[in-house]
Structure 1
Amino acid sequence: MSRLIVCTVGTSLLSNADRPWAGWNPRRQDPLPDAADVALWLEDADAAAASAETNTLRALDVGEADRLAFLHSDTSEGRFCAERLATLYARAGVPVETKKIGKLGYGADHFSAGLKALVDITISLVRTGRERGQQPIFCATGGFKAEIAFLNLIGALLGVEVVYLHELHRELVRLPQLPLSWDAAIVARHQDFFTWIDGELR
């Protein structure tokens, strides 16, 4: 069975050491490196060291039968990293798409809305993937810590395997399934409450 691999994207491609743009720091508002230079560097880089995402996908042995969905934050550097990764895997013949998680960024004001967008996008991807006969897998290595936590919870509720790979490890960690399940009947019985909590800003 082909796999739909949903991968959250962080900025390790930019911020890790041992690359021509080493020292890049968003807190200083450093300019992004040239996209063509990064793409060229990625083609020859060791996947285990290039970024958190490539390290995880290396361990998953991603191939042309798989489909990749890179989820990135609503920031210029998040989009930049996702686009460079998408280009890398597309050139290898892997079907790939990028999805922006609206409002997910460094500001606390919209972060909750961004996490809600993450839930919506992820559920939609899983539904579409299953309709196509694909096995969904979540790569929860890159991105904000809260983003990774939410992805793990979504995986538990939807019965989707969640994998993780720390930068110091070469072996994939398959996160244990949480003892949770989704009871649609509860939502139906309390529809007014869920409509209210979904619409209110808090």
Structure 2
Amino acid sequence: MLKIGILEGSLRSASLSRAAARATASLLPDGAQAVALPNPGTLPLFNQDVLDAGMPDTVASLMSQVEGIDALLIVTPEYNWSIPGGLKNAIDWLSRKNPSPLAHKPVSIWSVSPGLLGGARVHESLRQTLLSQDMIVMAKPEVQIAGAIGKLDVDAGATTNPETEAFLRGHLSAFTAFCNTWTAT
């Protein structure tokens, strides 16, 4: 069973990206399992002084969970044309372990927004950060869920638009095949 960790980029409990992340479990093909990772808002801000005093329990728990997955799906909004601070903070913490629990893991990015661009601008900066961790990025097709208010049910954590659901199912099928290619080597 391929274990795909789902890392949310938003800290907001009623976020559109959280709704898309929660919908993932019901959209994955057979042979793949969604593993919800802790929300980045549970982590302290990265600070070398904190690390020098000892790894925080919340960070150690996240590291352990990331070590136990085969691949990573990041579902995030775009903040000011870039990566939300909490998500970047989680990656910064994960990068402090040697070897990094992110290294050599396949990863895909879904951006989610009520706007017309669907958070498209977060992809470039996030890919650059993930490549710095030796992750294997599935760059195409990109997933940008634009106009997400009409496509996702925040309360149910589900898709409400059949075209969006079909696209996400197709992407997860392609991502699973991509992951199986890399995890088999």
Q: TM-score higher than 0.5 here? A: no
Structure holding more helix per residue: 1
Query: Which of the pair has the greater relative contact order for Cα pairs under 8 Å at 6+ separation?
Result: 2
State the TM-score, normalizing by the size of structure 2: 0.38
Which has the larger Rg? 1
> TM-score under structure 1 normalisation?
0.36
